[in-house]
Amino acid sequence: MKKRVLITNDDGIFAEGIQTLAQELHEQLGDVLELFIIAPDHEQSATSHAITMHRPLRVEKVRYFHNPELHCWSVNGTPSDCVKLAVEYMLEEKPDLVVSGINRGSNLGTDVLYSGTFSAAAEGVVLGIPSLAVSHTEVKRSGFDGAAQFICNLLPRLWNNHISERTLLNINVPAGTNGDIKGVEITRLGSRRYRNTFQKRIDPRGRSYYWLAGELDDSYEKNSDVAAIKNHKISITPVHFDITDYEMMEPLNQLLDDQVLKNVGNE
């Protein structure tokens, strides 16, 4: 039986990255995969995990590479909308895997909190489906073939090792050709900060407005995804949703030993 793979992104359904990924998976693994491409009808970068609640979602059938074997739909919503709608309504059977990407530009460190690419994969895990978020660090020119080939090589190995429904892998592929890549590293999320984030400008009517910009200030901590990309390695970061601060639990318990707090609700 073929594995069912749902492909989505945040760059839009006609972006080069998602089309290259879909075509590569179809050509290399089409005998063992059934692909469903359901993605936003326009760019939805930095939408994080937003879902649409106050307007209707519309779905349109589209065609890739004049290839009728690929099942493709566009949605006028967010990446998370696409996954939720696909799994809970559009597809007759639950996918075995969600792959979000290939994104143009990296999704490293704390940037995953804003990323539509990452959040689409995260929605897959919320729905009980192992998921990958895949990004290519090159922004100015295309170069998705190597990243797509890497995913083709990775998928059989993941399935052969029986990945959990809680599996969420954030994958970043460095710029350059395959010959430029120095290996693969399992990493943790690094830290990314931006300086001078907003630019203030004046419109023709003399009113102020602000444009999000800023300069990146990366921290290259050991074993981080940011450091791996700097060293021209593919970064694979396993991520989970338990964001509980366990170290803070005991200090809070001690705080509750305060008699005033303990008596709340007992009066």
Q: How many domains does the chain have?
A: 1
- Full-model pTM: 0.91
Q: Beta-carbon neighbour count of residue 185 at 10 Å?
A: 17
Residue 167, pLDDT > 80, answer yes
- HSE-CB at 172 with a 13 A cutoff on CA atoms is 33
Q: Is the pLDDT at 136 greater than 70, yes or no?
A: yes
Q: Is residue 239 part of a domain?
A: yes
Residue 259 has pLDDT above 60, yes or no: no
Q: Which two tokens stand for residue 91?
A: 């597809």
The closest alpha carbon to 107, from 45, 42, 167, belongs to 45
Mean pLDDT of 16-45: 96
Burial tier of 3 (Cβ tally within 10 Å: 0-12, 13-18, 19+): middle
Write out the residue range of the structural domain in which residue 160 sits: 3-191+221-262
Can you read off the two tokens belonging to residue 2? 């073929």
Residue from 88, 76, 1, 20 nearest 44 by CA: 76
- Over residues 4-16, the mean pLDDT reads 97
Cβ–Cβ < 8 Å for 37, 72: yes
The answer to whether the beta carbons of residues 49 and 79 sit under 8 Å apart is no
Q: Is residue 181 part of a domain?
A: yes
Q: Specify if 105 maps to a domain.
A: yes
Query: Which carries the bigger pLDDT value, residue 207 or residue 263?
Result: 207
Compare 67 and 21 and report the one with higher pLDDT. 21
Report the distance separating Cα 76 and Cα 41, nearest Å: 5
Please tell me the distance from the alpha carbon of residue 15 to that of residue 19, in angstroms, as a whole number: 6
Does 202 map to a domain? no
Q: For residue 25, give the CATH number of its domain.
A: 3.40.1210.10
pLDDT for residue 79: 98
Half-sphere exposure of 103 (CA within 13 A, CB side): 31
- Look at residue 11 and tell me if it is in a domain: yes
> Across the strands, what pairs with 237?
170
Q: Give me 23's structure tokens.
A: 């075509």
In a domain, 199, yes or no: no
Across the chain, mean pLDDT equals: 91
DSSP three-state, residue 80: helix
Residue 266, pLDDT > 70, answer: no
Buried b (16+ CB within 10 A) or exposed e, 19-32: bbbbbbbbebbeee
User: Is 145 within the bounds of a domain?
Assistant: yes
Least reliable range by pLDDT among 40-44, 50-54, 213-217, 233-237: 213-217
Supply the pLDDT for residue 261.
62
Residue 212 lies in a domain: no
Proportion of the chain above pLDDT 90, given as a percent: 73
